[in-house]
Amino acid sequence: MPPRCASAVTEGDDFDEAMGMIASARRPLIVAGRGATDPRSKAAIPDLARRLQAPVATTLKAAGLFYGEAFNLGIFGTLSTPVAVDTILQSDCIIGFGASFSRHTTASGSYLQGRRVVQVLGDMQENCRRTDAGMLLLGDPALTAQRMVEVLDEAEIPASGHADADLQNRLQQEASQLAMPAAFRAGRDGTVDFFPALRALERALPKDRVVVTDLGRFVTSAWKAFPVSAAGDFVYTSHFASIGLGLSEAIGAAHAAGDRTTVLIAGDGGFLLSGLSELHTAIRQNLNLVAIICNDGSYGAEHVQFTRRAMSPENSMIAPPDFTAIARSMGAGATRVYGADGIAAAVRVVAARKGPVLIELMLDPELVPME
């Protein structure tokens, strides 16, 4: 059965109570989820944020929706930056549009604890994943945001001032720090430091890109390192909780993206499952695709479980083939990255690409985080 989506504004006592919570908030914060990524919501929700002087954030699945907004905190939840976390914890009212407020978004409910919550959902089936018993309004996110602005104007409610010059300065400073090259740690056997390598490659790729990730312990670092500039440019492949889906979805995303660059970030184990066969498809179609393979020679989740239990991770180790040599033999550009010097070579390969390229990051399995 398809979801029942509301296409009107909830009126009555619940809406009035929600407006009372919003109007009295001194530090409001607005969060948008995948259910509010349509063009109407993208226009209406920032209008409400500016009217309230409230910062904005998105769930992971709506990443990029508020790209370019002055008070954009980025991802709300367990992937938040330090400035975003501070702002979330200082807020007194959180207004969500099209966001289910699952345990991942709310850090198991801790980001909502002690705060008034107004949640606007167009799809009532999203209600089952809520972690907070705040005010729930079933209504069209865009129309509801527009109506909220009208009510605030009619009642002459002053703006909160939460989105101020101090917050803007802190966001700009944080962005500047993230844009700076990160220091590399020395891994064993000449391996490359994972997160700084991702950040260096991110700087070398167009901002207007589509990002696809396979599943694995590398994925949270990949999500942090590779932001997108529009909500539709983030492809979430983790619904099946299975590794190995990345390249097949990246091929579809690259076809849809046209001339824009599609970036795939996958692990060695996942790429072994279907990547080698699908790589030929990407090459045959001459897609504008950059595949970054995180090769630590292990199944990461199992490696973590063994080491956390003080057991030998030997059974989690695999012996993947030389992905770079295979990609070259198929006709793709490719390079293996060892150490900081290898990143410069990878950047040159990316810049000179005329079709799919594969960048193989050789990683130390002891230095790949699982957050």
**Contact, 266 vs 291, CB < 8 A?**
yes
In whole angstroms, give the CA distance from residue 267 to residue 296: 8
Query: Please, what is the angle between helix 323-330 and helix 276-284, to 10°?
Result: 30
Q: DSSP letter string over 151-197? A: HHHHTTPPP---S-HHHHHHHHHHHHHHHSPPPPPP-GGGPPPHHHH
In whole angstroms, give the CA distance from residue 74 to residue 51: 20
- Residue 207 tokens read as 């901002």
Q: Where in the chain is the domain with CATH 3.40.50.1220?
A: 13-173
N-term to C-term CA, the chain: 35
In this structure, what are the phi and psi dihedrals at residue 317, rounded to the nearest 5 degrees?
-80, 140
In whole angstroms, give the CA distance from residue 341 to residue 357: 19
- Give the class (CATH, top level) of 181-367: alpha beta
Look up the CATH number of domain 13-173: 3.40.50.1220
Q: What is the pTM of this model?
A: 0.87
Query: What pLDDT digit, counting tens, does each position of 252-288 carry?
Result: 999 999 999 999 999 998 898 888 889 999 999 999 9
**Contact, 118 vs 95, CB < 8 A?**
yes
How many CA atoms lie less than 13 Å away from 45 in the CB half-sphere? 31
Q: DSSP letter string over 76-123? A: -STT--HHHHHHHHH-SEEEEES----TTTTTTTTTTTTSEEEEEESB
Sequential pLDDT tens for the chain (371 residues): 444 555 677 788 999 999 999 999 999 999 999 999 999 999 999 999 999 999 999 999 999 999 999 999 999 988 999 999 999 999 999 999 999 898 888 988 899 999 999 999 987 665 555 655 689 999 999 999 999 999 999 999 999 999 999 999 999 999 888 776 665 665 667 788 888 889 999 999 999 999 999 988 888 889 999 999 999 999 988 777 788 889 999 999 999 999 999 999 999 988 988 888 899 999 999 999 999 999 987 777 777 777 888 888 787 778 788 999 999 999 999 999 987 788 889 999 999 999 999 999 998 877 777 66
Query: What pLDDT digit, counting tens, does each position of 81-119 carry?
Result: 999 999 999 999 999 999 989 888 898 889 999 999 999
**Contact, 139 vs 10, CB < 8 A?**
yes
